[in-house]
Structure 1
Amino acid sequence: MDLITPAQRDRLFDHFERDAFHLELRDDYGSPVEDTPYARWQRGEPDDYAWLDAWTELMKRVTAEGRTVRRVRVVTEPHSRYVRWEHSLTHLNIAMGEDIRWLPRHLLPEGVDFPVHGNDWWLYDDRLLAVGHFDAEGRVLGSEIVEDSGTVAECARLRDLLWAVAIPHAEYQP
């Protein structure tokens, strides 16, 4: 399986026309860019958020062009430390123009089956998937590009179902 890097995946934002959607299913992630700020947060130290500058610039540009970037974060309650940190930062994503909703696992609709082996994915314009792959410690390995129309359609249906039942960030009280 060929994987693209996170930087290559981010370049996909230059090519979609309408909607990019991210389904997040993990309660913990490992990313070198987040290691230091996450450690600072755990120690109660302030953060200048400079590590988010490239993402902020990308999201502001994409959303200013009228394209949408949405996420549903499926999370376990009570939250892991990582999800608590992620929740504390989500106001920054909202300010960038992203729309983020939360879905506690115990509120998942009955019978939901996660495609692509339960991995996270980005869906671009209902035509292209970037499926995340992780190692045993949760470190990002890269993303697999999937263009199979059946898999893409299955993910689009799941996106619509979960988006309808997920809780907007402003209303989600963990």
Structure 2
Amino acid sequence: MELISSDERNQLFESFAHDAFHLELRDDYSIPNEDGPFRAWLDGAEEDDSYMAPWLQLMKGVTDAGKTVRRVRVVTEPHAPYIRWEYISTHVNEEAGESIRWLPRHEMPEGLVLPVAGNDWWLFDDETLAVGHFDESGRVLGSEIITDPSVVAECVRVRDLLWGTSVPHNEYKP
């Protein structure tokens, strides 16, 4: 399996035409550029989203061009510290144009089998998947690109199901 870097995956945002969707299934993400701000927040510092500036600029450009960027975050309740931190900073993602919804893990549709071995994924224009892979400690290894129509179709089905059952950020009260 060939993996591309997060920077290479982000280049997909420059070429998609209509819709990008992210399914997030982890209660913690060990992303190096977040380590400092997350630890500072755990130590009582005020929210500082400056590390997100490149991402927010990318999202603003994409959504200002009329494209949609959506996420469903499937989370365990009560929330892990990382998810609590992510929740309080979600407003900056939405201000940049993303639409974010939350789905408590215990409210997942019964019997749902998640595609691509239960990994997180980005789906671009119902055609291309970027499936996230992580090591044992939760660090991002990279993304696997999948264009197989049957795998993509299953992800489209799951996206539509979870988008319809998840709660918009401004209505979700953990």
Instruction: Give yes or no for the alignment of 1:95 onto 2:112.
Output: no
CA distance in 1, matches of 2:125, 2:81: 33
2:79 and 2:158 map into 1 onto residues whose CA distance is 23
Look up the match of 1:3.
Answer: 3
Deviation at 1:142, TM superposition (A): 0.5
AA paired with 2:125?
D
Match of 2:42 in 1: 42
- Could you tell me which amino acid in structure 1 is paired with residue 25 of structure 2? L
Q: Which runs of 4+ in 1 moved over 3 A?
A: none
2:19/2:125 contact within 8 Å kept: yes
**2-structure distance, mates of 1:102, 1:48:** 22
Q: CA deviation at 1:48?
A: 3.7
Tell me the alpha carbon deviations over residues 134-158 of structure 1, each in whole angstroms, 9 at most, x when there is no partner: 0001111100000000000000000
Residue identity matched to 1:71: R
Q: Tell me if the contact between 2:47 and 2:89 (Cα under 8 Å) persists in the aligned partners.
A: no
Secondary structure of the structure 2 residue equivalent to 1:85? helix
| Structure 1 residue runs without a partner (length 5+) | none
Structure 1, residues 114-145: CA drift from partner, whole Å, max 9, x if none? Answer: 01000000000000000000000111110000
2:150 is aligned to 150
| TM-score with structure 1 setting the length | 0.98
Show CA shifts across 1:22-78 (max 9, x none): 000000110001101101110111344221110011000000000000000000001
Report what 2:120 is aligned to: 120
Q: Percent identity?
A: 60
Alignment partner, residue 131 of structure 1: 131
TM-score scaled to structure 2, two decimals? 0.98
1:31-70 maps to which residues of 2 (within 5 A)?
31-70=31-70
| 2:153 maps to 1:172 | no
Q: Distance in 1 between matches of 2:52 and 2:28?
A: 18
CA distance in 2, matches of 1:155, 1:48: 34
Contact 2:33-2:51 at 8 Å conserved across structures? yes
Q: Which amino acid aligns with 1:61?
A: G
Worse-matched range after superposition: 44-53 or 73-82: 44-53
Q: Which residues of 2 match residues 6-17 of structure 1 at below 5 A?
A: 6-17=6-17
Distance 1:95 1:47 in 2: 15
Query: Residues 20-31 of structure 1: matches in 2 within 5 Å?
Result: 20-31=20-31
Unmatched segments (≥5 aa) in structure 2: none
CA RMSD of aligned residues (A): 0.7
